[in-house]
Amino acid sequence: MPRIGHGYDVHALDEGLPLVLGGVRIPHRKGCVAHSDGDVPVHALCDALLGAVALGDIGVHFPDSDPRYRGIDSLELLRHVAGLLGREGYSVCNVDLTIAAEQPRIGPYVDLMRERIASALGVGVGEVSVKATTTERLGFVGREEGIAAWAVALVERQTPVAEKI
């Protein structure tokens, strides 16, 4: 039986910080304020995957208060989440991410993000969709105060060998 999960994340932007989205370092004058590398879409995806199997959320598994996660590559967190799903007997069918950012332009980096996320999840790049949008200069995203991302993930329980006979 497939299960679906949804995730949402926002980080504030500040001058002079590195900007990492979907595992890709993007040259920009601003980056995300965060305990980790602030990879908004990957955090949303972790929450979608955890949500699909009702395993809590990213804050439960990787608390801000834990110094081990300071500046951590969020793809490491995603690999860990994929491992948790695997231990529960689930595999990832497909994931779909939307990033809302006014600046910089995300489009040129989308395919590289898909490759890096697919690699972390152990799925084909065809199972990973990354889309980017602006908010037409409206709201905190439009004012370039922050970046938001949404993710949906479909997972499926792996059929035990005995059931295949």
Residue 102 in the binding site for Zn ion (CB under 5 A): no
Least Å from the CB of residue 40 to Zn ion: 6
Residue 116 in the binding site for Zn ion (CB under 5 A): no
Size of the site for Zn ion (CB under 5 A): 2
Residue 41 in the binding site for Zn ion (CB under 5 A): no
Least Å from the CB of residue 94 to Zn ion: 22
Least Å from the CB of residue 150 to Zn ion: 13
Residue 30 in the binding site for Zn ion (CB under 5 A): no
Nearest C-alpha neighbor of 142 from the set 99, 100, 90, 91: 100
Contact range with Zn ion by CB under 5 A, out of 6-14, 90-98, 108-116, 156-164: 6-14
Measured from the CB atom, is 79 or 156 closer to Zn ion?
79
Least Å from the CB of residue 34 to Zn ion: 6
Answer whether 6's CB lies under 8 Å from 44's CB: no
Residue 9 in the binding site for Zn ion (CB under 5 A): yes
- SS3 string, the chain, reads CEEEEEEEEEEEEEECCCEEECCEEECCCEEECCCCCCCHHHHHHHHHHHHHCCCCCHHHHCCCCCHHHCCCCHHHHHHHHHHHHHHCCEEEEEEEEEEECCCCCCHHHHHHHHHHHHHHHCCCHHHEEEEEECCCCCHHHHCCCEEEEEEEEEEEECCCHHHHC
Least Å from the CB of residue 20 to Zn ion: 11
**21, 24, 31, 43: which one contacts Zn ion (CB under 5 A)?**
43
For Zn ion, the binding residues (CB under 5 A) are 9, 43
